Structure formats: structure tokens, C-alpha cells
Amino acid sequence: MKQLKNMILEFLFPPRCAICGTVLDITNAERRLCPTCKADIPFIKAERCQICGRHITEDYICQRCKTTDFAFTKGMAAFSYAVMQQPIANLKFHGYQHDAENLGSLFYEYFVENQKDWITWTDIVAIVPLHEKKQKRRGFNQVDLICRELVEKTNMQYIPDLLQRSVDTVPQSSLQAEQRRENIRNVFVLNKNIDITDKHILLVDDIFTTGSTLHECSKALLRGGAAEVRVYCLAVVEKQ
């Protein structure tokens, strides 16, 4: 019965490439990427900004991050948002939770290939939280789903409720840069039951756009006693 159910689900919702969305051959045991994307996974390669992770051609920090005083000290992103815009939208807004495992696998792969030393640096992995009303409506936090494979395979300590969002804010995607900063200011609070004194925190999110949300989360963590915060995102918006 279970096998028949799976066959029906695969017929109605065939597996698709986690990056480009191409329907995959159901006989493909991996069922993660199409041959084209697998042959050349479009990770951010070569030089990248050490603060936000976007691709740069010179220096170590992009011009945007040079002029912004973020509370976190370092950052990295696996993909350009231009590559991941549709997969992220499918997960967040269309409920494609089955895609999260494939995205999480890529998220883990990039991390260990590029910043494996962060595993030993990290004391706690935290995620950018949704307000409880929004999470109830959506049914899940997409960032939690994406980072599960990372924490499971690296054995880093993961506390998904380390941060809480005290205000159900207007969606950041609907606002301009300055509006984003004001919209999100001081809305994140630390879980009072958890001591993070002198801890190194790896903060995970799905998209780095202006960095305002990550900055505010990092401020809350540092106010709570954290020694340092670094950020890792699935995608970064290259142009702002």
C-alpha cells in the first residue's frame, strides 16, 4: 500500500532538479540534480566578499559591506539569489517542503568545501526566526528545514529557538533598504532560558539581501553575551 502511494505521488509530483526545476528521471537514485546542474553546480566560486559572500573580482570585502557596520564579523552564501530565487520561492510560498532536503544537501556541501574550519569554531547554530503567527500560517520555518542536514552531518549544536521575533513585521521583500532597517529594528530577542555567554554563534538564513535582518539578530545575540557571530545563507542578492 505504501509503495502504491509513493508511486501515485511520484506521478503527480515528479522529482525535479533542486536548482533549475527540470523533471528528473524517476530511475535516478540520487534525485537531486539534473545532469546539467550536477556537472557544474552553480555555487558562488572564486573570490567572494568575506562579509556577505557575494562574488567579487577584487579585494576581500565588497563595496556595500565596506560602508555598512554589521554586528556579525564574517559571512558566506552558497548561491547567487538569481540562481535560487525560484527554488526558495517554491519552498517558502508554495509549500514544496520535499525540496528542502535537496537544498539542505547543497547547503551542507558548499559549507564543508569552503569553510570546514567553521565547524570547530561554532559553539551553537541558530536560525533567523519567523514570528509565531507567520510560522503557524506557513506551517514551518524554511530556514530550519534547509539547515537540518548541515547540523546533522557536522554534529554542531543546533538551537532552533535561540532567537524569537517579538513583532509580526511587514515582509522585508516589500520594502526598500532604509525601510528594511527600520522595519526590523530591535524585534529579535534571545531565549532567556539559554546561556550563550562567550559562545561563537553561526547564524543561518535563506537569503542575504541588505543584511538588516542578520544584523539585528546578531545584535540580539551579542547583547546576550555571545563572543562572535558569523552568518551563512543559502543565497545572496548580488546587486542592491
Strands 74-80 and 228-236: parallel
- Read off the C-alpha cell for 203: 547564524
Q: How confident is the model at residue 188 (pLDDT cuts 50, 70, 90)?
A: very high
Q: What distance in Å separates the CA atoms of residue 209 and residue 90, rounded to the nearest whole number? A: 18
The predicted pLDDT at position 13 comes to 62
The DSSP result for 148-185, as a single string, is HHHHHHH---B-TTSEEE-S-PPPGGGS-HHHHHHHHT
Local structure of 8: helix, strand or coil: helix
Q: Phi, psi at residue 228, to the nearest 5°?
A: -160, 150
Mean of per-residue pLDDT scores for the chain:
88
Is the pLDDT reported for residue 168 higher than 80?
no
Which of 49-58, 192-201, 212-221 has the weakest average pLDDT? 49-58
pTM, two decimals, is 0.89
pLDDT category of residue 163 using cuts at 50, 70 and 90: very high
| Residue 6, pLDDT score | 45
